[in-house]
Structure 1
């Protein structure tokens, strides 16, 4: 009996030893953060700031590799095919969740990744043109609910399109307000300010300056609490819209499937520490995001919820292509 127990203990130790050794030695070389977006954008600036701090923490080089294109598929596949040891990581947004719906030939890339950390998140917003005279959700219902109303709402990507459809349904305006789909937020914001678009669903940073100037009005935003820099703007719930599914815009970090959870936790801890860095804080402020730092398990739960919501809403959404 004693021999059996001893043998079992030795076997268990042998199984755990590689994982423990990986954590003890991580990182043993340079770490690459793959960003599937062009250099210079908000997410890229955040990753570069975090990368500088990670390099200090790990005392190893952290390389930022920009691989934009094909709805983030190019950069994502670079990571799914990498060795699952934590030295090659992906930084992506909810755009990743739409790939299997719009590029069925690529399969489910999310299933080929393992969650590491929800680095930062920020609210989506519903904004009205300053020329529309709409200054609240009540104004929106009164204006766009009329039989002869000619209201429109815009989205700059699949995520904001999905959020907007949910918002219009909650407002009871899904059959009265026409969606205008843009390839990116800049053109949509320009049309909103010019009065060619009544409403826009977008990220906070895209319209915060216009809100301050009065050329646009943010009517409500996602989240459990108001944003300090927009203290006059209610949350969706406060505005009477209730809970809006998957309405947060996040930046998350992933590793190739098969990367040990212990290694992913180690990376997540370093990423959480990097959120205290002044450069990282400044980058998040520019994006109107808050540091999160959720680890593999918690981020995994967020992904499950968002994936389910994307699947449900995309099944009722006309093709964007």
Structure 2
């Protein structure tokens, strides 16, 4: 009996500790945030993702009645921002903005680092998804994807396309187009996005994938045309641009990128849930929706589980493309 009583007492104490810990976590979430929050981003100031993050940070600071600071740490393939956020305490006060390529492609592009993003960070909240268009110069001979693919088939390895870097959606999208059509092209990576689209506009590079915010300056100057959107449906902001299938390209080719907020592993479920709910509330704000529309950004309100599922799906595709193309950033 004494032994049974001791076991019962120990079990009761353990249950009380669990209840206490749970209550403390709920209290911490209810009080969150009680000090400024930092949003670390690998994107340069003035970029589309940065512009969105600053809008979100402003709305969150009003909602939370706390400063929400954007800390731009571009460079190093995203690792400068990643390492800074990874060193932060797992308390929700440091969050990291990443796109789906930082999450899903980096592990394949930097194999020797043995770095798997979701082993160090948990998805917390989604922000938006951006589609990519096939951009050509206004005077380019390509009017449709049928034209582009036919030219690449007739001149294997001679047709080039530009992107904003090795392993970018623009590069991997080109690799996927090659894999789906059997064509071979030459990839030309650029350091400066503005220079990339300036060269597409002059015809120095025949074509490139492009998002609206990154290419709108050259487009509005009348030097670019979009011959397709790499998606299964047309984009409302560009209703005259056909889908990939409508333009004669492979129907299954979809090139897009989604952007999310992540937290270092160890943040409590209650705080992650609060951040997710509050970011979703902010994303629904009419002012932010209007800004998204100008960029053709699709607002997302995914759960952390949905972010992870979508990242895993991209990882499978990217892993195969990196293997086939023997792509590395080591």
Task: Work out whether the TM-score is over 0.5.
Answer: yes
1:256–1:50 distance in 2 versus 1, CA, 3 Å: same
| 2: CA distance, partners of 1:102 / 1:137 | 28
1:116–1:278 distance in 2 versus 1, CA, 3 Å: same
Greater shift, 148-157 or 122-131, is seen at: 148-157
| 1: CA distance, partners of 2:153 / 2:323 | 26
Kept in 2, the 8 Å contact 1:80–1:109? The answer is no
Would you say 1:145 and 2:148 are equivalent positions? no
| 2: CA distance, partners of 1:36 / 1:297 | 23
Would you say 1:14 and 2:20 are equivalent positions? yes
The aligned counterpart of 1:257 is 265
Deviation of the 1:22 alpha carbon: 2.2
The aligned counterpart of 2:86 is 80
Structure 2: runs of 5 or more not aligned: none
| 1: CA distance, partners of 2:218 / 2:74 | 28
Deviation of the 1:115 alpha carbon: 0.2
| 2: CA distance, partners of 1:232 / 1:172 | 28
Structure 1: runs of 5 or more not aligned: none
Q: Is the partner of 1:188 in helix, strand or coil?
A: helix
Deviation of the 1:278 alpha carbon: 4.6
TM-score (norm 1): 0.87
Q: Is the partner of 1:63 in helix, strand or coil?
A: strand
How many residues are treated as equivalent by the alignment?
A: 318
The aligned counterpart of 2:70 is 64
Kept in 1, the 8 Å contact 2:131–2:211? The answer is yes
Kept in 2, the 8 Å contact 1:123–1:222? The answer is yes
Would you say 1:36 and 2:61 are equivalent positions? no
Deviation of the 1:95 alpha carbon: 4.1
The aligned counterpart of 1:166 is 176
Pick from 287, 291, 308: which aligns with 2:316?
308
Q: Is the partner of 1:143 in helix, strand or coil?
A: helix
| 2: CA distance, partners of 1:276 / 1:27 | 21
Choose 1 or 2 for highest CA Rg. Answer: 2
CA RMSD of the aligned region, Å? Answer: 2.8
